[in-house]
Amino acid sequence: MSDENNIKNKVNHEKKYSIFQIAMNLTVTCLVSGAVIAGTYFITAPVALKTAAKIKTDSMKSLVVGAQKFNPIKGKAEWFTAEKDGKIVAYVVPAESKGYGGAIKMLVSVTPQGKIINFDILDSKETPGLGDNASKDPFKNQFKGKEVKQLEVTKDPTKVDQIQAMTGATISSKAVTKGIKEAVQKVTQFVGGK
Amino acid sequence: MRELWDIFRKGIIAENPIFVLALSLCPALAVTSSAINSLTMGLAVMFVITANNTVVSITRKIVNPKVRVPVYITSVATIVTVVQLVLQAYLPVLYKALGIYLALIVVFAIILARAEVFASKNKVTPSFFDGLGMGCGFLLALLSIGIIRELLGTGAIFGIKVLGAWYNPALIMILPPGAFILIGYMVAGFKMLTEHMEKVKLEKVKLERGEI
């Protein structure tokens, strides 16, 4: 008698897990999950867009101090001109080069005469504490006002008009300098060809 | 009340996710190079594990045991995505610093383990406190690793210089090998602490029985 009951129970148990129920279970889960994510996205997406745009203009403003307006250049993706009192005072262009730990992405501001104003490292995977210091002074400071021909990395401290390599991070130093040099060359080409 | 406190407390010391259970060591190594990263990661995990434990506990009678794991994973993934979207909108700098590890919270062993071991078998309130306790343990572990690494590796805590110019930063501490070495020592230290606590407890019991 008890055996029979056991079998009956087992059958009932099996029935409870019908394939339809299991499928429904997963469907409902995914439906709820989708609804929750969609709801959150609906609220955060406009904020995220605004934050991203603000970060970009903030970063450009710090690159070209005093500029009032940034206009995208037609035909050049991610290129911007910085205007002050209606005159173009600088070009803000992206630069990229291969560093020690992967690509280094930068934003460089250059005057129409081909002098560097400043630069910003947007994304890099350089060694923290060594190559990572490229975004800090004193390395960063060296670039201000430099021209293309001065953009050579040196380990000789007497060559004051060149770029002094960071101790223990020659590859990162060279990579950053190369990326900036290319950006400056592109800008001079662009201005000259206008 | 006392029970809830015990549930909460065990996650912090007796069953600390990192030092005792040794779960989710990968993020403990990867994101703890600075105190602020550790804090954000810890808070994110604490939120996810608590929310997930609650959800799993609420739905424990509806969810079919045969498909419980996919359901749990979907639940964790949903919560993590929500955290990601919120961080991206309001704290973009931290969002960038955490990078891929934020998305990887979905597959953290500790979260699925608590859902399976605890939340699927207990009522909502104890499950909530279990998640909170485990999350707190995780947060404290990550934070202590992060603070020590940042202090030894750069001489600063939360980006504020604490040690003067005389200190020559030990770079290895903010590189991955430093994390391995430090976690090794901390696990050992934790083991000593728990062993000592058990010894004290045992002596207390003996004393009560009048054996000594």
Contacts of B106 (CB under 8 A, 6+ apart): B73, B76, B77, B80
B28-64 in b/e form (b: 16+ CB < 10 A) is bbbbbbbbbbbbbbbbbbbbbbbbbbbbbbebbeebb
Chain A residues in contact with B90 (beta carbon < 8 A): 44, 47, 51
Dist CA A44 CA A49 (whole Å): 9
Chain A residues in contact with B153 (beta carbon < 8 A): 128-129
Q: What is the pLDDT of residues A83-123, one digit of tens each?
A: 777 777 888 888 888 888 888 888 888 888 878 888 888 88
pTM of the complete model? 0.74
Q: Are B154 and B171 in contact (CB under 8 A)?
A: no
Q: What is the pLDDT of residues B136-192, one digit of tens each?
A: 999 999 999 999 988 888 888 887 787 777 887 777 888 888 889 999 999 999 889
Cross-chain Cβ contact A25/B169 below 8 Å: no
Q: What is the CATH number of domain A67-192?
A: 3.90.1010
Q: What is the rounded average pLDDT of the residues A8-30?
A: 73
Q: What is the pLDDT of residues A82-92, one digit of tens each?
A: 877 777 788 88
Q: Which of A14, A37, A123, A130 is the best residue to mutate to test the B interface, defined by the most B CB atoms within 10 Å of its own CB?
A: A37
Q: Which helix (H) or strand (E) holds A91?
A: strand A87-98
CATH 3.90.1010 maps onto chain A at: 67-192
Q: Which residue range is the domain that position B168 belongs to?
A: 2-209
What ipTM was estimated for this complex?
0.73
Q: Are A138 and A180 in contact (CB under 8 A)?
A: no
Strand A103-110, strand A116-123: pairing: antiparallel
For A35, the token pair is 């609804």
**What's the domain count of chain B?**
1
pLDDT category at A15 given cuts 50, 70, 90 is low
pLDDT by position in tens, chain B (length 212): 788 888 888 888 888 888 888 888 887 888 888 888 888 889 989 999 999 999 999 988 888 888 888 899 999 999 999 999 998 888 888 887 777 778 888 888 889 888 988 888 889 999 999 999 999 999 999 999 999 988 888 888 887 787 777 887 777 888 888 889 999 999 999 889 888 888 998 888 888 887 65
